[in-house]
Homo-oligomer: A and B are copies of this chain.
Amino acid sequence: MNATTRTLPVKERFHLPKGVIYLDGNSLGPLPRGTTERVQQMMEQEWGDHLITGWNRDGWMEQPARVGNRVARLIGAPAGSVTMGDTLSVKVYQALSAALKLRPARRVILSDSGNFPSDLYMAQGLIRQLGQGYTLRVVAPEEVAGAMDDTVAVAMITQVDYRTGRMHDMTAITRAAHAAGAIMLWDLAHSAGAVPVDLAGSSCEFAVGCTYKYLNGGPGAPAFIYAREDVAAEMQPALAGWLGHDAPFAFEPEYRPAPGIARMRVGTPPVIQMTALEQALTVWDGVDMQDVRAASIRLSELFIKEVEANCPQLRLASPRDPAMRGSQVSFAFDDGYAAMQALIAHGVIGDFRAPDIMRFGFTPLYLDEEDVRQAARILTRILTDRLWDAPEFRTRHQVT
């Protein structure tokens, strides 16, 4: 550990409600301390007192690039290669569309059945709009590398599966895409802040992700988009908004893209929400992603061991090898929905994904081993006593 590296967890950097063990930071990260105060200051002093002059005086206009640099450090991307804004779905659309233009003779978007549905929906919407023979080819996760061929314009893959936590090999799949002449687009929704990512090393063309999960930016925090430097210089934005223009305030009649990744900006950025995110990202100061990964594996392995020893009703739905998992552990259970409601009622917050997945996120910034043991104990009691069957619970929680 070097002088600036902090021993995990850094729990004191977060507001964590008393009596709650939060295993859902993979869905919405908790509130970092100081964020509310910073937003209040921005609203009162910047918006309130500076009014329109805040755009320059308080650096609002440059904020998407500034915050992008903070995110870049966490995903192995060089400074100046990431910009922030919009939502992950919109960023998926921008990247997909730009990728198709870079491979005009090809017609296939390749993805896998473990991808988050919104990514597939955005591809479907783009294809319906384009016509011209474009198709979405969806294969099983283990077939992705083998499905690359010279019809594939772009492979759009989410590195970590939102249900099972199964993690793709970014290097191998990117290499397979490039060997087939395809563009590689990674969705890092469940990777950024969860596992070490080396975007520059992977040489993928595009990556996108959200910041309200492991990056703790708050509900609806802005998304990010990365493009490799050579690609950023030539890509053509489908969403050609004025803040991606080379000279937005010249109000020229024709769109001219800004240099590099800035052309993926679209409209006026959400300054309040971006300020919350910018402040929230300071919790990563002095934190090394390798330490996060080591702690995440330690916590996940402990949870699996405790649950398998005490809850034979549950079946591990995540890969057993931690090298193949992101920072979450999922168990399949027929009564998973009801059991999760009971678990939440008893202060352990995880979540449920249809049809039968109980999902638990391990976020070493604010979780320690005692949290994990305690969560496993409560889960064991709920399963042993089938607490969700208790009439008073059924009434209170409207479990049907």
Contacts and interface: CB of A to CB of B under 8 A. Distances in A.
Interface residues of A, number: 87
Interface in A267-310: 267-274, 276
Interface string A101-124: 100000000000100111011101
A372 B128 CA distance: 52
Contacts of A124: 240, 254-255
A52 B36 contact: no
Contacts of A53: 344, 349
Interface string A215-239: 0001111110000000000001111
B219 A89 contact: no
A30 B54 CA distance: 12
Interface stretch (A14-22, A69-77, A164-172, A196-204): A14-22
Interface in A14-40: 15, 17, 20, 22, 24, 27-28, 30-31, 35-36, 39-40
A62 interface: no
A339 interface: no
Interface string A86-109: 111110010001000100000000
A381 interface: no
A362 interface: no
Nearest to A254: B124
A246 to B, nearest CB: 11
Contacts of A138: 253
Contact of A237 (B125, B251, B255): B125
A35 B272 CA distance: 12
Contact of A52 (B88, B129, B253, B351): B351
Contacts of A236: 128
A43 to B, nearest CB: 5
A12 interface: no
B40 A349 contact: no
A34 to B, nearest CB: 11
Contacts of A6: none
Given A47-B218, A52-B24, A255-B121, A267 B129 contact: no
Contacts of A344: 53
Given A15-B48, A60-B219, A35 B27 contact: no
The residue in A17, A221, A255 that gathers the most chain B C-beta atoms within 10 A of its C-beta is A255
A51 interface: yes
Interface string A333-353: 000000000001000010101
Given A47-B31, A51-B24, A130-B130, A88 B121 contact: no
Contacts of A60: 219
A242 B121 contact: yes
Contacts of A353: 251
Nearest to A250: B354
A317 to B, nearest CB: 15
Contacts of A190: none
Contacts of A237: 125
A195 interface: no
Interface string A173-204: 00000000000000000000000000000000
Nearest to A236: B128
A362 B272 CA distance: 25
A39 B31 contact: no
Q: Which 10 A-B pairs have the closest CB atoms?
A: A87-B267, A125-B240, A118-B242, A220-B270, A89-B267, A219-B271, A89-B241, A121-B255, A31-B48, A273-B273
Given A54-B219, A130-B130, 4 more contacts: A36-B43, A53-B344, A97-B129, A118-B241
9 contacts: A43-B218, A87-B266, A121-B240, A124-B255, A210-B268, A218-B271, A219-B268, A270-B273, A272-B273
